[in-house]
């Protein structure tokens, strides 16, 4: 399986997603990445699944997904 990103240490502080991606600590305002996560409860935010390949994160209680490439602004061309 191809490993896209190494994702560790995901948590929330105030209205920010704080995550370590590929060894770098990043912080994203929820209002810019997901209105669903921004409005979610602490419990809903804290139940997530990181894909084994590091491609993205899924919040099953919210049916919300975020791709790491999208978060990092990486664009792919065919």
Residue-wise pLDDT for 7-46, tens only, equals: 988 999 989 999 999 999 999 999 999 999 999 999 999 9
Q: Is residue 78 a part of any domain in this protein?
A: no
Q: Is residue 2 a part of any domain in this protein?
A: no
- Enclosing domain of residue 41: 7-72
Q: Is residue 46 a part of any domain in this protein?
A: yes
Give the confidence band of 77 by pLDDT, cuts at 50, 70, 90: low
Looking only at the bridges linking them, the beta strands covering 64-67 and 7-13 are unpaired
Q: Is residue 12 a part of any domain in this protein?
A: yes
CA distance 8 to 11: 9
Give the confidence band of 70 by pLDDT, cuts at 50, 70, 90: confident
| Domain CATH code at residue 32 | 3.30.2020.40
How many domains does the chain fold into?
1
pTM, 2 dp: 0.86
């Amino acid at each position: 399986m191809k490993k896209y990103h190494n994702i560790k240490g995901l948590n929330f502080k105030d209205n920010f997603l704080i995550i370590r991606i590929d060894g770098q600590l990043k912080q994203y305002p929820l209002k810019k990445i997901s209105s669903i996560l921004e409005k979610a409860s602490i419990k809903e935010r804290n139940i997530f699944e990181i894909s084994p390949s590091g491609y993205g994160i899924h919040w099953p209680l919210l049916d919300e997904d975020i791709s790491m490439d999208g978060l990092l602004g990486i664009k792919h061309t065919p």
